Copies of this chain bind each other. A is one copy, B any other.
């Protein structure tokens, strides 16, 4: 695997740079996002006051916008910090949580995409489809069954992701049972992860923070670093599930173990578990 030749360097860069990550997040998963950022080697800082976000983001290495819960002051803060990050050349991740779920949220989303250049847009298939088409079948924050990636439609989803990447300039990272990560020319298909991850809140939000950390230490390899982040995080989920299952435990323990394995993750462990194909 071509990516296996680069992954050692991707992990080393995180240790070397220990990127300081600005996250604008939500009241549900902010703690999880901060802890997973630390677990995977970054240093989180969460600021959202419109009058301080530019100062804060200037001292950081990257920025993650999580749309999980709109609050009124956040729009201005996201725009300011995003623009400043763009000026400084910091990688910026967009997690369009619940895209399509409400008119107001959709307006904000398109305002962000118009005004900020994103390095990676990461969401489930329903959220990403909404960004491209302006319509969605999803209810709540989970992907809709009718949108799911299957063996039958995977080629067209890859084509769709490559086109959306071409249009937006961002790596498009779609998570689900099968993850698809694409820029305009190349796509990774990743089959790590497990169903239990959808029984814990914030596993998507956390993944966006992990991606932010990986790419902010690897600015020249956004696509590759995103793929490694997805696969490593998914594999941490598999290990957490195996441990939970073997002890007859439930979702509380699973959540703890997911954090554990992410904090123990390294290139060796990643290579043992990665299930990645290139298209």
Residues of chain B within 8 A of A30, CB atoms compared: 27-28
Tell yes or no: A132 within 8 A of B by CB: no
| Interface range for A | 35 or more
**Which one of B34, B52, B199 contacts A70 once the chains associate, using CB atoms below 8 Å?**
B52
Tell yes or no: A249 within 8 A of B by CB: yes
Residues of chain B within 8 A of A193, CB atoms compared: none
**Which one of B20, B44, B102, B202 contacts A31 once the chains associate, using CB atoms below 8 Å?**
B202
Tell yes or no: A113 within 8 A of B by CB: no
Q: A199-B39, A252-B263, A263-B251 are in contact. Are A73 and B70 (CB under 8 A)?
A: no
CB–CB A55/B201 < 8 A: no
Residues of chain B within 8 A of A51, CB atoms compared: 102-104
Tell yes or no: A69 within 8 A of B by CB: yes
Contacting residues of chain A (20-66) with chain B, CB-CB under 8 angstroms: 20, 25-32, 34-35, 38-39, 43-49, 51-52, 55-56, 59-60
Tell yes or no: A253 within 8 A of B by CB: yes
CB–CB A38/B252 < 8 A: no
Tell yes or no: A72 within 8 A of B by CB: yes
Instruction: Annotate A187-222 by CB proximity to B: 1 below 8 A, 0 otherwise.
Output: 000000000000111100000000000000000000
CB–CB B55/A102 < 8 A: yes
CB–CB A201/B102 < 8 A: no
Which A residues contact B (CB, under 8 angstroms)? 20, 25-32, 34-35, 38-39, 43-49, 51-52, 55-56, 59-60, 68-73, 98, 101-105, 139-142, 199-202, 249-253, 255-264
